Amino acid sequence: MKERRRIVVKVGTSTLTYDTGKINLKRLEQLVRVLADLMNMGLEVILVSSGAIGVGVGKLGLTEKPSDTRQKQALAAIGQASLMSIYEKYFKEYGYNTGQVLLTKFVLEDEQRYVSAKNAFETMIEYRVIPIVNENDVISTYEIEFGDNDTLSAYVANLVDADLLVILSDIDGFYDGNPNEKGSKLIPVIEEITEDIRRCAGGVGTRRGTGGMQTKLHAAELVLPNGIDMIIANGDAPDKLYEIVEGKSVGTLFVSKAI
């Protein structure tokens, strides 16, 4: 197995927020503790985090997350800085600084900006700072409408030449059918994204998440050709990340082909 040293961890809205739409502080704190500990072990961690809208919902005291793009964009702006300050507070408690990176897909498609972003990431990693990445929702409808950061996390994994992309979701991994239906089973290892696999990802995501498995499969297709493995695991137990870096079987592993 390839050494899992540089790891991009993506955490979804469904993991970071309660049904009320507000942020799940307990989960977030557990996640930060484990990520800081992985840094202590000498690993390099880059976090891609959703949740800004959830924090915005909490700040304004709304009773639920709005579905209108315009309102979501405003709430993302209202929540982003607070989300970062929560991360900063927790990471600081465990001895680490963070750096905020707001990206759009289109920024990364421009060569010059791609190089700038890459340099900023590399420098933060050298400083042993944890980059925390989110889509720049205010100027981009992409994530809010389609992606829920799955695609973005794949772009980031490619940009920093990660060893592994871990997508933490509200489900144990990728199932061979609708996970709500009896008889559906978790697939521990996927060597190839076949048409059958694609059909399994047919269902939409949860109410709070957005992309479901389709955007996660797309993320896999983006990183696997570059020699980056991808794992989908349940974000309800961030301690599983220890097992993941040790190479134990957790969730669903998508095996890269380039090695």
List of residues contacting ligand ADP (CB under 6 A): 12-15, 148, 169-171, 174-175, 179, 200-201, 203, 205-206, 209-213
250 token code pair: 């957790």
**DSSP per-residue letters across 40-83:** HTT-EEEEEE--HHHHHHHHHT-SS----HHHHHHHHHHHHHHH
Q: In the chain, which ranges are continuous DSSP H helix?
A: 13-16, 25-40, 52-60, 69-93, 105-108, 111-126, 142, 150-159, 195-200, 212-223, 240-245
Would you say 27 and 236 are in contact if contact means Cβ atoms under 8 Å apart?
yes
Q: Compute the least distance from the CB of residue 69 to ligand ADP, in Å.
A: 17
Would you say 157 and 8 are in contact if contact means Cβ atoms under 8 Å apart?
yes
Residue (118 or 218) nearer to ligand ADP, CB = 218
Query: Which residue bears the tokens 């503790």?
Result: 33
Q: Compute the least distance from the CB of residue 8 to ligand ADP, in Å.
A: 15
Q: Compute the least distance from the CB of residue 139 to ligand ADP, in Å.
A: 22
Residue (32 or 168) nearer to ligand ADP, CB = 168
Residue (37 or 170) nearer to ligand ADP, CB = 170
Residue (122 or 221) nearer to ligand ADP, CB = 221
Would you say 143 and 13 are in contact if contact means Cβ atoms under 8 Å apart?
no
Residue (73 or 151) nearer to ligand ADP, CB = 151
Residue (239 or 246) nearer to ligand ADP, CB = 239
Q: Compute the least distance from the CB of residue 118 to ligand ADP, in Å.
A: 25
* Apex 194 CA angle, 192 and 199, nearest 5: 135
Residue (78 or 219) nearer to ligand ADP, CB = 219
231, with CB counted inside 10 A (0-12, 13-18, 19+), is buried
Residue nearest to ligand ADP (CB): 209
Q: Compute the least distance from the CB of residue 116 to ligand ADP, in Å.
A: 28
Would you say 179 and 249 are in contact if contact means Cβ atoms under 8 Å apart?
no
Q: Compute the least distance from the CB of residue 121 to ligand ADP, in Å.
A: 22
Q: Compute the least distance from the CB of residue 86 to ligand ADP, in Å.
A: 18
Would you say 164 and 8 are in contact if contact means Cβ atoms under 8 Å apart?
yes
